[in-house]
Structure 1
Amino acid sequence: MSLGPGRPPAPGRVRVSAPRTQAPHLPATTSVSQEVAEQSAVGEIMVQSLIRSQLRLALVVTAGFMASLLFCWVLVSWVPFFSQWRIMGIPAPWLLLGVGAYPIIGVCAWLYVRAATKNEAQYRDLVEEK
């Protein structure tokens, strides 16, 4: 809206040249933590993303555990030389399947907890604005 050349502003009007700098700053968008707490569409997507990453991790660790047990079974079943071994009078296949599975379980559990903690820390860093 132009006043035209040479026309002074009307009396009683104030010319605004800059926004108020003393006014409190209101955030234009909501934070991710607010989105999650309010269960909005964005928050729901964030939580579903965490659940999907944890599910994917569980499936990968389970597949690795099953593959290692399958390897033990193949070793016992298809390698006749291995089935003839005896350690302190106990057949090696019994030791492998009866005792050897527990270290595999421990390693898989340790890897899962380590990776799940990392996933949750990344989610927490995303939600909490630092």
Structure 2
Amino acid sequence: MTRVRVTAPRGVSPRIIPLSGIAPHGSALHGSALPAAHSSADARDAAQESDAGQVFIRSLIRSQLRLGLVVAGGFLLILLAFPLMLGLVPGLAHSTIAGLPFDWVLLGAGIYPVIGLSAWLYVRTAARNEARYRDLAGDK
């Protein structure tokens, strides 16, 4: 059986082509239609199949993994800093803000901006990594 890679660029309406003769007889795909790859997808596949393309893909995967680990590690450090701060600063755990315990306010109002900032930084940097990969691979 031949290995087939199906790709489609985002935001582009794919063409529909029949698959008659591609799928084995009796399968669910025989005579059905799937999106066809465009010339940019063909160029991307050709770049991925070359030795340089494989290096670019491995580099992208490593950079995305490194980014995920850095963002997760930074988030965990900040998350662990909250209980340390409450334990090391005397009287902070027993103080109140607007009638609410400080530790509740810290977890309720302090952690969500950290989650949002971590997510925003991750998405922004991941998109930049992918744009650099597309520039290196020649896919525009």
Q: TM-score range by the shorter chain?
A: 0.5 to 0.7
Which is richer in strand? Answer: 2
Give the CA deviation at 1:45.
1.9
* SS in structure 2 at match of 1:82: coil
Total equivalences in the alignment: 98
Tell which structure's C-alpha radius of gyration is larger. Answer: 1
**What is the CA distance between 1:93 and its match in structure 2?**
0.7
CA RMSD of aligned residues (A): 2.0
Matching of residue 99 in structure 1 with residue 99 in structure 2: no
Q: Partner residue of 1:78?
A: 88
What percent identity do the matched residue pairs reach?
A: 48
Partner of 1:34: 46
The TM-score normalised by the length of structure 2 is 0.63
Q: Is the 8 A contact 2:53 2:137 kept in 1?
A: no
Paired with 1:129 and 1:102, the residues of 2 have a C-alpha distance of 37
Corresponding position: 1:125 with 2:138: no
> Do residues 50 (structure 1) and 48 (structure 2) align?
no
Return the offset for 1:104.
0.4
Q: Distance in 1 between matches of 2:103 and 2:90?
A: 10
Q: Secondary structure at the match of 1:80?
A: coil
TM-score by length of 1: 0.67
- Give the number of the structure with larger relative contact order, counting CA–CA contacts within 8 Å between residues 6 or more apart: 1
| Structure 2 unaligned residues grouped into runs of 5+ | 1-42
Contact 1:33 1:127 in 2 (8 A): no
